[in-house]
Amino acid sequence: MFSCSVPSDEDTGEAVLFHPSCGTYAQVINNGRTAHRPNAADDFNNGVVLTRRPLKPNEMFEVRLDRCVDKWAGSLEIGVTTHPPTDLEYPSTMTNVRSGTWMMTGNGVMHNGTTIIDDYGQNLDRLKVRAGLLPNFLFCDYPPAANHCPSPV
């Protein structure tokens, strides 16, 4: 289960929330604050979720991992795309999208389905969740994974 949150924008009140359109094996619940896979132990791929609105320039967001199934490799990917959630034909994985996409997968960074940086940050496949620990994906201690991304993403 993933949660996406950022303090509400004081000017517009627009929090970063998940869009209700999503991959076949994902569900967006909790008024857009949570995305999860109801059958995560049985279903792989087709769990793509996007936010309701584009990020603003230099806006940071936080994703919290509440639970993780370690049965799969490459099950967690996080990034940005220029594709609006209503226009995207949801792929089985965003690594298959060949335009307008920057993402972390494992511990590499991909742009439009091609690895552009190896060994970046913490390997997303090795994140563990246990009682009392909710890891947050904030890579403030690392250099930018991508520069010159167009707006909006």
Look at residue 35 and tell me whether its pLDDT is greater than 70: yes
Q: Is the N-terminal amide bond of 152 cis, ω within 30° of 0? A: yes
% of the chain surpassing 90 pLDDT: 35
Percent of the chain with pLDDT over 70: 75
Mean pLDDT within 32-47: 90
Q: Answer for the pair 44, 18: CB distance below 8 angstroms, yes or no.
A: no
Give the range with max mean pLDDT: 21-30, 34-43, 144-153.
Answer: 21-30
pLDDT at 120: 81
Beta strand segments in the chain, E = 2-5, 18-22, 27-29, 34-36, 49-51, 62-65, 77-81, 101-105, 108-111, 114-117
The domain ranges of the chain are 2-126
Q: What is the pLDDT of residue 122?
A: 76
Q: Which two tokens stand for residue 111?
A: 């742009």
**The pLDDT value given to residue 153:** 64
Nearest one of 29, 34, 44, 43 to 5, comparing CA atoms: 34
Instruction: Enter the CATH code of domain 2-126.
Output: 2.60.120.920
pLDDT at 75: 67
What is the mean pLDDT of the segment spanning 143-152? 67
